[in-house]
Amino acid sequence: MIISMFIPSVSGQPIKRVGRLGVIPSVQPTHATSDMWYAEKRLGPDRMKGAYAYQSLLKASPGNVLPLGSDFPVEGVNPLLGFYAAVSRLSVDGTSPRGPNGWYPEQKLTRAQALKGMTLDAAYASFAETDLGSLVPGKKADFVVLDRDIMTIPVGEILEAKVTATVIDGKVAYGAL
């Protein structure tokens, strides 16, 4: 397994080679929404086809694994920003250079794909999948409780979600359950 921690722009054959070579691409969804205002001009139309191509990378990766991160301190550390960027491809104010459906909306991840990328896939890429990434007996219970269900609310409300509790290794570290 090869893990690439930064794949901002690949296209066509290189994306297909990701799977053939066993490369697990690790991406930061907030890069797409931060860079979308200038990326097309800087990369050009040919390189743009594969830039921030999260859905394409996910489909090409071995086992459909696409770890998602923040690239903090370059981007904000708040995981809700990354989740929102992955599923909306919109700025925090709900805009994009390509309109209200997001920047290259065909590259959006579903909410389930984004959650998996932030949990199971991230644990797998860091060789910690036996201890982290899901809530099952025998694993460390690291999770947050939010005041709303980000899997079902309108996309525009995701960033309004507030953490009501944080559990680390099965112990409440913040708030109450």
pLDDT tens for the 177 residues of the chain, in order: 555 555 555 555 677 777 788 888 889 999 999 999 999 898 888 878 778 999 998 998 888 999 999 988 888 899 999 999 999 999 999 999 999 999 999 999 999 999 999 999 999 999 999 999 999 999 999 999 999 999 999 999 999 999 999 999 999 999 999
Tell me whether residue 90 is exposed, middle or buried, using C-beta atoms within 10 angstroms of its C-beta: 0 to 12, 13 to 18, 19 or more.
Answer: buried
Where are the extended beta strands (E) located within 11-129? 23-25
Query: pTM of whole model > 0.85?
Result: yes
Return the amino acid letter for 31.
H
DSSP β-ladder status, 23-25 and 2-4: parallel
Residue 55 contacts residue 109 (beta carbons within 8 Å): yes
Distance of CA 50 to the CA centre of its chain: 16
